[in-house]
Amino acid sequence: MAEPYLSASAMRGGYGKADILNGCTLTVDQGQIAVIVGPNGAGKSTAMKAVFGMLNLREGAVKLGGEDITRLTPQERVHKGMGFVPQTHNIFPTMTVEENLEMGAFIRTDDYRETIEQVYHLFPAVADKRKQNAGELSGGQRQQVAVGRALMTKPRLLMLDEPTAGVSPIVMDELFDRIIEVARTGISILMVEQNARQALEIADIGYVLVQGANRYTDSGKALMADPEVRRTFLGG
């Protein structure tokens, strides 16, 4: 098999002295959906940040499309085609919904109006609020704006940290639906999910992260089928 599109190998690092990541490895192929699950505080978000260059790695390397990007700044990674929705603080609160989406398209030079319409179509609830400041939205609406912003980037690798937290079931369905669609177009998806069963359902590859290290790695289906994994990590 050729080298995967994204490969983050043996990452080790953290915020202070203690390491949060202890040799965590993540890979995603072109058009694949990879899902990370694990207990709270396992280091999932930290791993995402590490992949995006928002955390200094002590060890390990991140490669994108065969190119070593370990030393690049987050902003340079954006230009390499990576998009990221953080778990918290993922909107611009005093800018309108529309401006939030425009900011998603900041590095695009083509006409992005169509993409905006697509996002509105996907999230009709926020479409009604396009002229409202994003900070005034409800929790779930914010989440939708955040995901919408990332979609605006038209990235080649889309990283989502718990995109469905606080989102109502109907929208969550839509969202997963859309993610599959996006993946179809050849975009790689790396996401963290606590709604793990739904997420693993659509995942090509699943990672169970515990204390900053890979505990289980398998296809989504296989992980779902593993009773041990289900009991300890997926809530029965």
Partner 1 sequence: MIQVHDLHRHFGGFRAVDGASLTIETGSITGLIGPNGAGKSTLFNVIAGVLPPTSGRVIMDGEDITGLQPHQLFHKGLLRTFQLAHEFSSMTVRENLMMVPGAQTGEGLMNTWFRRGRIREEERALRKKADEVLEFLTITHVADEKAGNLSGGQKKLLELGRTMMVDAKIVFLDEVGAGVNRTLLGTIGDAIVRLNKERGYTFCVIEHDMDFIGRLCDPVIVMAQGKVLAQGSASSIMQNEAVIEAYLGTGLKNKVAAEVAEEANFGESHGAQPGLGAEAGQGGDGKPAGDL
Partner 2 sequence: MSNTRQADAHGRWRAPIVFLLIAALFMLEGTTRNALFSGSWNSALAILNMGLISAVMALGVNMQWGYAGLFNTGVVGFLALGALGPVLVSTAPVQGAWSAGGLRVLLALAVGLGTLALATQVWKRVKAPLSFILIPLVLLVGCVLYRFLFDPAVMAIEANNSASAGNIGGLGLPVLLSWPVGALFAAAAAWGVGKVALGLRSDYLAIATLGIGEIIVAVLRNEEWLARGVKNMSGIPRPVPYELDLQNNAGFVAKAAAWGMDPATASAIWVKLLYAGLFGTVLLGLILLAELALKSPWGRMMRAIRDNETAAAAMGKNIKGRHLQIFVIGSAVIGLAGAMMVTLDGLLSPGGFNPLRYTFLVWVMVIVGGSGNNWGSVLGAVLIWFLWIKAEVWGPELMNLVTMPLPEGALRQHLLDSAPHMRFVAMGLTLLLVLRFAPRGLVPEK
Partner 3 sequence: MDFLNALVAILNFVVIPAAAYGAQLALGALGVTLIYGILRFSNFAHGDTMAFGTGLVILVTWGLQALGISLGPLPVALLALPIGIALCSAFVLGTDRVVYRFYRKKKSDSIIMVMASVGVMFVMNGLTRLLIGVDEIRFDDGARFLISVQDFKAWTGLTEGLALRLSQALTLVVTALCCWALFRFLNKSRSGKAMRAYADNEDLALLSGIDPERIVRLTWIIATALAVTAGTLYGLDKSFKAFNYFQILLPIFAAAIVGGLGSPIGAVAGGFIVAFSEVAVTYPWKKIATYLGFQPEGLLQLLSTEYKFAVSFVILIVVLLFRPTGLFRGKAY
Ligand X SMILES: Nc1ncnc2c1ncn2[C@@H]1O[C@H](COP(=O)(O)OP(=O)(O)OP(=O)(O)O)[C@@H](O)[C@H]1O
Residue ranges that bind partner 3, judged by CB under 8 A: 52, 54, 74-75, 78-79, 83-84, 86, 89-95, 99, 102-104, 106-107, 149, 153
Count Cβ atoms below 10 Å from residue 194 Cβ, excluding itself: 16
User: Is 166 among the residues that bind partner 1 (CB under 8 A)?
Assistant: yes
CB 23 to ligand X: min, Å: 15
In whole angstroms, what is the distance from residue 85 CA to residue 64 CA? 18
Closer residue to Mg ion (CB): 45 or 153: 45
Contacts (Cβ under 8 Å, ≥6 apart) of 131: 96, 97, 98
CB 33 to ligand X: min, Å: 19
In whole angstroms, what is the distance from residue 92 CA to residue 16 CA? 28
103: left (phi over 0), alpha (psi -120 to 50) or beta: alpha
User: Is 164 among the residues that bind Mg ion (CB under 5 A)?
Assistant: no
DSSP single-letter state for residue 3: P
User: Is 180 among the residues that bind partner 1 (CB under 8 A)?
Assistant: yes
Strands 188-192 and 157-161: parallel
CB 102 to partner 3: min, Å: 7
Contacts (Cβ under 8 Å, ≥6 apart) of 143: 90, 163, 164, 165, 166, 167
User: Is 88 among the residues that bind Mg ion (CB under 5 A)?
Assistant: no
In whole angstroms, what is the distance from residue 107 CA to residue 209 CA? 33
Residues 134-153 touching partner 1, rule: CB under 8 A, are: 136-141, 143-144
Site string for Mg ion, 37-56 (x = CB under 5 A): --------x-----------
Binds partner 1 by CB under 8 A, chosen from 36, 196, 209, 223: 196
Burial category of 195 from C-beta neighbours within 10 Å (exposed 0-12, middle 13-18, buried 19 and up): buried
Please choose which of Mg ion, ligand X, partner 2, none residue 137 contacts, taking the beta carbon within 5 to 8 angstroms, the exact cut-off set by kind: ligand X
In whole angstroms, what is the distance from residue 10 CA to residue 26 CA? 8
Please choose which of partner 2, ligand X, partner 1, none residue 144 contacts, taking the beta carbon within 5 to 8 angstroms, the exact cut-off set by kind: partner 1
| 4-19 per-residue burial string, b: 16 or more CB within 10 A, e: under 16 | bbbbbeebbbbeeeeb
CB 170 to partner 3: min, Å: 27
User: Is 87 among the residues that bind Mg ion (CB under 5 A)?
Assistant: yes
Interface with Mg ion by CB under 5 A: which residues? 45, 87, 138-139
Interface with partner 1 by CB under 8 A: which residues? 15, 38-42, 44-46, 87-88, 125, 129, 136-141, 143-144, 161-162, 165-174, 176-177, 180, 194-198, 201-202, 204, 221, 224-225, 231-236
